[in-house]
Amino acid sequence: MAKTVVVIGSAWGDEGKGKITNYLSKQADLVVRYSGGDNAGHTIVLDDAVYKLHIVPSGIFDPNTKNILGNGCVVNPKALLEEIEALKKAGFSCDNLYISDRANVLFDYHKILDGLKEERLGARCIGTTKKGIGPCYTDKMARDGIRMCDFISPDFKDILKETLIIKNDELTHFGASPIDFDSFYEEYQAIADKIRPLVCDTVTLINEEINKGKKVLFEGAQGTLLDIDFGTYPFVTSSNPTAGGVCTGTGVGPTKIKEVIGIVKAYTTRVGSGPLPTEFNDEISQDIRDRAHEYGATTKRARRIGWLDCAILSYSVNINGMTGIALTLLDIFTGYKKIKICDYYTLDGKVLKAPCAKIEDFARCKPHFIEMDGWEEDITKVTSYDELPENTKKYIEKVEELTGVPVVIFSVGPDTKQTIIRKELY
Ligand code: GDP
Ligand code: IMO
Ligand code: MG
């Protein structure tokens, strides 16, 4: 069997995917992003240095690991070059970065349109990251997108000219100024020249490596409840961050996927609009926000806090075919007398074990909670499961019981070193 592992966000993002991907990347030959763009914010703490990656995969710190942006990603080349520059300054060459020739390019007009659409929605806005993600995927599906292979080719000028006619129509429709072709082309042509050496046929590259028996790690961005098909539509992103997205976003067939690890926070967070059934606002939620620095890595917005939601998690287990859970941020619970877990919802007197499709119904779901005893001990220096306090073990066991999936990794602090493996994945 191919040595492939998928890391996915089990809820609304920010579960610690960057940290766990970075930890596992030490064993991997390839780290591949398969969906989303620079709307992601993945935090990696290596020996006290904090890195926030938005579009570059989290295996970039090891020069021997190939880092790939798959065809399913939307790539803002300006944001990418900025991130590469910052990483180079920090001493990482980025010579190990590859971009799919089939990935769609995200331009400034996508960002402008994202902002304009949000403004028009007013109070009903999605609360996007305003990185242009929705408009770029819209263009991809409408076949108005520009792909990397065209961006770096001599045809770029003609393709951009055609595209800008459509985009300027859209911009002026919203009351914005049209884009001047000449200066826009000049700016992006210079960027294309810098990006060109990174662009290649990643479908062949990844499949060849898999066929050679290499270890591949697929790094999810966003989360299952932000998935365009399975998330809390319309308060979602515009891609498929779920495990199915790996196949369409990289060109690797489903029979080649071995493990799917769901990253699960000990509690739940959400940024942006839309229902969060287990949300609570009291001194504990504010304490969690402060202790865990729950402010968006991309937009700096305060993240909303809820208790762990196993109705959501069980749904996520099904959708992703999760084989294991990585439970993160357990250390944040130290010192709380009681901790809650939601096991199901009720709606109009009926029990619901998964979120309903209609957003207005989902917003009316009432969570049912199991209350568990907390623990006082500092667990940030724990190096094995056995060292954990009894009540922490009970919490982990409850998650396993409610989901039917083993907790194969747990995390007790932001540093990559504060990761404990219960089952080797490679
Ligand atoms: P991602 O988007 O899924 O990669 O997650 P983010 O990086 O946006 O948010 C996760 C936050 O939790 C970051 O600030 C991480 O440094 C931090 N983090 C990850 N795992 C742990 C952990 O086990 N304990 C603590 N205290 N912080 C963690
Ligand atoms: P990582 O990879 C948390 C949210 C936005 C908004 C919705 C749509 O760090 O977990 P978009 O800009 O994608 O059109 O916004 O999705 N969102 C995220 N929330 N973590 C993320 O990424 C997110 N990426 C997008 O806040 O609600
Ligand atoms: Mg994040």
Residue 385, helix vs strand vs coil: helix
Q: Note the pLDDT of residue 312.
A: 97
- Which one has a higher pLDDT value, 197 or 2? 197
Q: Note the pLDDT of residue 170.
A: 96
Question: Which secondary-structure segment (H or E) carries 151?
Answer: helix 148-151
pLDDT over 60 (residue 1) = no
Among 222, 264, 265, 293, which is best to mutate for testing ligand 2, by the most ligand atoms less than 8 A from CB?
A: 222
Sequence-separated (6 or more) residues with CB below 8 Å from residue 136: 37, 74, 104, 105, 106, 107, 110, 145, 238
On the 0-12 / 13-18 / 19+ scale of CB atoms within 10 A, 4 is: buried
- Ligand 1 centroid, distance to 43 Cα (angstroms): 6
b/e sequence 234-254, b meaning 16+ C-beta within 10 Å:
ebbbbbbbbbbbbbebbbbee
Tokens of 75: 């790539």
DSSP-assigned beta bridge partners for residue 259: 5
Tokens of 413: 């602090």
Going by C-alpha positions, the residue among 212, 320, 202, 214 that lies closest to residue 252 is 202
Active site annotation includes 14: yes
**% of the chain surpassing 90 pLDDT:** 97
Report residue 272's pLDDT band, with 50, 70 and 90 as the boundaries: confident
- Ligand 1 centroid, distance to 203 Cα (angstroms): 30
Report residue 299's pLDDT band, with 50, 70 and 90 as the boundaries: confident
14 close to ligand 2 (CB < 6 Angstrom): yes
DSSP-assigned beta bridge partners for residue 421: 409
Tokens of 55: 């579009």
Going by C-alpha positions, the residue among 204, 231, 266 that lies closest to residue 35 is 231
Average pLDDT estimate for 371-377:
98
pLDDT in tens, 128-168: 999 999 999 999 999 999 999 999 999 999 999 999 999 99
Residues 329/266, Cβ–Cβ less than 8 Å: yes
Report residue 2's pLDDT band, with 50, 70 and 90 as the boundaries: low
Distance between CA atoms of residues 235 and 226, nearest Å: 7
pLDDT in tens, 36-91: 999 999 999 998 899 999 999 999 999 999 999 999 999 999 999 999 999 999 99
Angle at 5 (CA atoms; ends 74, 45), nearest 5 degrees: 70
pLDDT over 80 (residue 375) = yes
Residues 216/27, Cβ–Cβ less than 8 Å: no
Instruction: Supply the mean pLDDT for the chain.
Output: 97
Q: Can you spell out the DSSP letters for 404-417?
A: S--EEEEE-SSBTT
3-state SS, 71-123, equals: CCEEECHHHHHHHHHHHHHCCCCCCCEEEECCCEECCHHHHHHHHHHHHHHHH
> 347 — phi, psi (to 5°)?
-145, 120
Average pLDDT estimate for 177-202:
98
Active site annotation includes 42: yes
Identify the residue whose tokens are 């940290």: 19
Report residue 296's pLDDT band, with 50, 70 and 90 as the boundaries: confident
User: Which atom of ligand 2 lies closest to the CA of 14?
Assistant: 10
> 46 — phi, psi (to 5°)?
-120, 115
367 close to ligand 2 (CB < 6 Angstrom): no
Q: Are strands 199-200 and 74-75 parallel, antiparallel or unpaired?
A: unpaired
- Ligand 2 centroid, distance to 133 Cα (angstroms): 9
Report residue 297's pLDDT band, with 50, 70 and 90 as the boundaries: confident
Distance between CA atoms of residues 164 and 150, nearest Å: 15
126 close to ligand 2 (CB < 6 Angstrom): yes
Instruction: Take atom 2 of ligand 1 and give the residue whose Cα is closest.
Output: 14
DSSP-assigned beta bridge partners for residue 43: 52
- Ligand 3 centroid, distance to 40 Cα (angstroms): 5
pLDDT in tens, 337-366: 999 999 999 999 999 999 999 999 999 999
Q: Are strands 268-270 and 304-306 parallel, antiparallel or unpaired?
A: antiparallel
